[in-house]
């Protein structure tokens, strides 16, 4: 698929034509990664963050947010739930929090890897390469770092750099690959000032990076942030602005599947927030093969407030697990076993073919 084709699909509005895109993405998903849906338990271990991202409710100078940082025992209780629920992976996520010491997290990763069959994915922001190397040596399998937008000027507007920063996210993604991580990245859809050309570039970059995981979601700013209170740019015609709509998210999921057929692609909480009835299901039938149920203790979930009113914020981990199983099975899909790395897709395809006979 060439960039102009990607661009045309992003602008497409005809439902009959879009049905062709959904069918092509779903068929590619089925043929390449199978019918398995991987459940990856999310543990949001800290809402501290040193960054001043213009849209994010965790930004460091938001004084009204109650901050927390989970201790090792709390984290390991969540890990035990992941094992109990037969998840293949835990995703340990935080703001860019330097109160999380490198060796402390390395010890937790090592404990998870030595005591459980789980894969470990980290999402800790733009940490120095030395930290990333230490965590990889401790056993971390994957790292998530969304580049959000490949437009450098737009990125600067929403992600002010740290004063001493000498790298960018593409540099770190390259280093993560060298260190042996499976790498995940992705973008926000509908950032004020984002054009269709820019978003087409982003999707083309997914292919060039050969991403192992691709996470995309709508631009949702927290109301207590500068970007939420800023007026749209008068320099960008309305017809050139990418909408932050549910439909656009499905388009990007489908196109991501087509340009990176082997990638693991989640149907996200943001989709479930936009469409509580069927957002996750529609993501799964339009290219996605991963869901990330939340294992974070409920007393902390509402404090991990990147944006407000997230779906499932008050559900227990057990209720979330049972609900997702029912939703996945309603699509004729099944919950995957194992860690769900990119190299395990052949096994899942074999099982899918056996079930189909």
DSSP for 32-66, please give it. HT-SEEEEEEEEEEE-------TT-TT-TT-TTSP
Domain boundaries, the chain: 3-356
Please state the rounded mean pLDDT for residues 298-318. 91
| Residue 354 pLDDT exceeds 60 | no
| Predicted confidence (pLDDT) at residue 357 exceeds the cutoff of 90 | no
What percent of the chain has a predicted confidence (pLDDT) above 90? 85
Q: What is the CATH number of domain 3-356?
A: 3.20.20.70
Structure tokens given for 106: 């390395």
Q: What's the confidence (pLDDT) of residue 42? A: 97
Of residues 331, 182, 356, the one with CA closest to residue 267: 331
The pair of three-digit structure tokens given for residue 356, joined into one six-digit string: 């189909």
Question: What angle (nearest 5°) sits at the alpha carbon of residue 303, between those of residues 297 and 307?
Answer: 120
* DSSP conformation letters of 249-277: HHHHHHHHHHHSTT-B-B--HHHHHH-TT
- Whether the predicted pLDDT of 28 surpasses 90: yes
Q: For position 298, what pLDDT does the model report?
A: 93
Cβ count within 10 A of residue 296: 22
Q: pTM of this prediction?
A: 0.94
pLDDT of residue 236: 80
Q: How far apart are CA 159 and CA 155, in angstroms?
A: 6
Nearest of 302, 233, 290 to residue 257 by alpha carbon: 290
Has residue 345 got a pLDDT over 90? no
Lowest mean pLDDT among 14-18, 181-185, 269-273: 269-273
Q: Each residue of 232-255: pLDDT tens digit?
A: 666 788 899 999 999 999 999 999
Judged against a pLDDT cut of 50, whether residue 355 lies above it is answered with no
First to last CA, the chain: 32
Output DSSP code: residue 46.
E
Cβ-Cβ contacts under 8 Å for 237 (sequence gap 6 or more): none
Longest Cα–Cα distance in the chain: 59
């Amino acid at each position: 698929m060439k960039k102009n084709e990607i661009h045309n699909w992003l602008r497409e509005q005809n439902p009959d034509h879009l049905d062709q895109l959904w069918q092509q993405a779903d068929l590619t998903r089925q043929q390449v990664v199978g019918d398995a849906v991987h459940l990856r338990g999310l543990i949001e271990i800290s809402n501290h963050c040193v960054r001043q991202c213009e849209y994010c409710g965790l930004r460091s100078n938001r004084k009204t947010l109650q901050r927390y940082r989970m201790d090792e025992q709390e984290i390991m209780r969540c890990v035990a739930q992941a094992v109990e629920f037969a998840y293949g992976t835990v995703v340990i996520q935080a703001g860019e929090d330097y109160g999380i010491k490198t060796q402390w997290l390395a010890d937790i990763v090592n404990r998870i890897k030595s005591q459980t069959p789980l894969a470990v994915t980290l999402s800790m922001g733009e940490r120095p390469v030395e930290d990333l190397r230490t965590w990889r040596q401790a056993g971390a399998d994957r790292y998530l770092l969304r580049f959000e937008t490949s437009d450098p000027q737009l990125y600067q507007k929403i992600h002010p750099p740290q004063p001493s920063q000498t790298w960018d996210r593409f540099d770190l993604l390259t280093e993560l690959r060298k260190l042996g991580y499976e790498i995940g990245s992705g973008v926000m859809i509908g950032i004020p000032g984002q054009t269709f050309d820019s978003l087409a570039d982003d999707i083309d970059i997914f292919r060039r990076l050969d991403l192992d995981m691709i996470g995309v979601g709508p631009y949702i700013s927290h109301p207590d942030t500068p970007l939420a209170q800023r007026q749209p740019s008068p320099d960008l015609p309305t017809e050139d602005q990418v909408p932050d709509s549910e439909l656009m998210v499905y388009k990007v999921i489908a196109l991501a599947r087509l340009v990176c057929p082997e990638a693991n692609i989640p149907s996200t909480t943001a989709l479930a927030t936009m469409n509580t009835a069927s957002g996750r299901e529609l993501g799964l039938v339009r290219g996605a093969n991963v869901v990330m149920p939340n294992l974070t203790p409920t007393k902390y979930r509402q404090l991990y407030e990147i944006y407000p009113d997230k779906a499932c914020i008050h559900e227990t981990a057990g209720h979330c697990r049972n609900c997702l199983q029912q939703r996945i099975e309603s699509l004729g899909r099944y919950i995957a076993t194992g860690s769900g790395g990119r190299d395990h897709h052949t096994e899942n395809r074999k099982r899918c073919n056996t079930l189909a006979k």
